[in-house]
Every structure is written in C-alpha cells, then in structure tokens.
Amino acid sequence: MDTIEIRGESIKLGQLLKLHGVAEHGAMAKDMIADGEVTVNGEVETRRGAIIRPGDRVEALGEVIEISAEQD
C-alpha cells in the first residue's frame, strides 16, 4: 500500500491515478475508471472527476493508495 500526500482539500480521481503512476496518461485513467477497474473506499467509481479527499482509499490495477493531507 502506498500513501499519497495531496495539497489542498482534494484531488480528482483521474489526476490521482496519473500522480501515483497507475495511469501513464489521462486517457488511460479515463478508460480504467470507465471500465469499473477503480474503487474508492471499496465502491466502484466511474467518474473521472470524482473528488478524493484525505482519508480515502483508492484501489486500481492491484495497487492500493491511501490519501493523506500534505504536512506543512
């Protein structure tokens, strides 16, 4: 499991997948999400623009990503 720190209050799901490296580019992230291959907190998420916040858990392609707030 990896932990990703984000700035601000949230990040969009598609951006998170690219930031983590699970998706090489936006089109790949879009396809993964549309195909139901991504879960957020255990639920399939099909919206690329879904808002992900600290404390959320995202799973994609066997990778588990925990989201935390960036420390000052």
CB 19 within 8 A of CB 4: yes
* Predicted pLDDT at 23: 94
Instruction: State the angle between helix axes of 13-20 and 26-34 in degrees (0 to 180), rounded to the nearest 10.
Output: 120
Give the tokens for residue 57: 């858990």
Map out the domains of the chain with their CATH numbers. 2-69 (3.10.290.10)
pLDDT score, position 72: 64
User: CA-to-CA distance for 54 and 67, rounded, in angstroms?
Assistant: 5
pLDDT at 1: 82
Spans of the chain, pLDDT less than 50: none
Does the pTM surpass 0.85? The reply is: yes
Phi-psi region of 3 (alpha: psi -120 to 50; beta: other; left: phi over 0): beta
**Termini Cα distance of the chain:** 23
